[in-house]
Amino acid sequence: MLEILSLIRQDGDPGWCRSVPNWDRGPWLETLLGYRRAKNNARPRIISSHLPVHMFPKAFFGSKAKVIYTVRDPKDVLVSLFHFARIFRPYKDPGSLEEFMEKFLEGDGAK
């Protein structure tokens, strides 16, 4: 979605996508670094988030911002998170995919 929005923002010119990392083009609102980047980005801004809408800043609801809500297939989420947890050290070892799936279904995820 970020690639599509980046291309729309640049009238189809892929130069921006190729030269600016995705974390600068669509920073994550829920991180301090992402929030700071988003505030300093030129308008119209692209901001990414995993936050539920009720946790968005109050100013958002009075703005002219537009939201694109993307939903992923739960199987895709499981497999993606499993592989991410295997390489991202702050997560505990996910074990086998089957073990991870059981934890995921219980709501434990990769904590």
- Neighbour count for residue 38 (Cβ, 10 Å): 19
Q: Are 81 and 91 in contact (CB under 8 A)?
A: no
What are the backbone dihedrals phi and psi of residue 8, each rounded to the nearest 5 degrees, phi first? -60, -45
Cα of first residue to Cα of last residue in the chain, in angstroms, is: 26
Catalytic residue numbers, as ranges: 50
The backbone region for 11, taken as left when phi is positive above 0, alpha when psi lies in -120 to 50, beta otherwise, is left
Q: Are 40 and 19 in contact (CB under 8 A)?
A: no
